[in-house]
Structure 1
Amino acid sequence: MIHDRSRLAGLLAFAATSLFCLGAPARGASLTTTIENVPDAKGTIRIALCRKDEFLKRSCDYRTELPATPPKTVATFPDVKPGIYAVQVFQDRNGNGKLDRSFIGMPTEPVGFSRNPVLRFGPPDFAQCAMQVTPAGGAISLRLITR
């Protein structure tokens, strides 16, 4: 009987110590994105943080939508897995949920990308917009391009 009690006490001590040694589950980074040059308060700002295979698509894992607030709108992405990403953003001025384009395919609503690449005859490629999200997180700023 004494042997069983000491064994039980040992198991309880081990279990309690094990619980204290367990750390909190790993959380992702927090990335704050500041969208500058928001021309007006029409519609919403749609922001997506995308991996290379998601870039320029609607399927990015990290997305948010906020009311447009000139001259800048700020959004934070919590719990982002560290890695290489690009931010793509547009101001959905008419609320139709998509980027409107002219008959030749040029955006008719303000757009922007991380690292502020120069847009010429089409969208930038991922490498022009790519940025590292570290475990510490961080903040970036980008400008909307209005035409």
Structure 2
Amino acid sequence: MSFITKFTASALMSVAMIASANNNAFAADLQVEVSGITQVKGEILLALFDQKGRWLRTAAMRTKTAATGDKVVLTFSGLAEGEYAISAFQDLNGNGDLDRNLIGIPSEPYGFSNDAVGNFGPPSFEDAKIKMDAQNKSIRIRLN
């Protein structure tokens, strides 16, 4: 390898390492306390959405935990700066889906970030969005 090739490869490696370190430096954790759990059974499932166009369709991340008391705490780790919205529900029967009645109203407890509510349907991404910066953040969602 010539000196120039070695120098270029070394420089590119350094840039990649710095970029990687910078990305990790801006990664933050979002801690979510879910309250309003009235039945200690099933699991609490959270879905995090990072784009308005994917809201309630394609989650960027998911997490879950057993419903062990009247509230639980879950964490999304390594989030970049940006806007996110979260949907939550308690899966009482363990089927992994938010069950609904005959007219489409959820029959299991559910909630959204900012405790956002919708009119004749779920809230908008705009109503549920939270802004993450380089700092860790804690929010609360109350199940209905």
Alignment of 1:1-147 (within 5 A): 25=21, 26-27=23-24, 28-51=27-50, 52-57=52-57, 59-145=58-144
| RMSD, aligned CA | 1.9
Q: CA deviation at 1:119?
A: 4.1
**Which sections of structure 1, spanning at least 5 residues, go unmatched?**
1-14
Total equivalences in the alignment: 126
Following the alignment from structure 2 to structure 1, what is the Cα–Cα distance between the partners of residues 38 and 55?
25
Following the alignment from structure 1 to structure 2, what is the Cα–Cα distance between the partners of residues 93 and 53?
29
Following the alignment from structure 2 to structure 1, what is the Cα–Cα distance between the partners of residues 64 and 38?
17
User: Which one has a larger percent helix, Structure 1 or Structure 2?
Assistant: 2
Q: CA deviation at 1:134?
A: 1.0
Q: TM-score, normalised by structure 1?
A: 0.78
2:125 partner letter: F
Q: CA deviation at 1:122?
A: 1.1
8 Å contact kept, 1:37–1:70: no
Q: CA deviation at 1:39?
A: 1.2
Displaced runs of 4 or more, over 4 A: none
Identity %: 38
Q: TM-score, normalised by structure 2?
A: 0.80
2:100 partner letter: R
1:118 partner letter: V
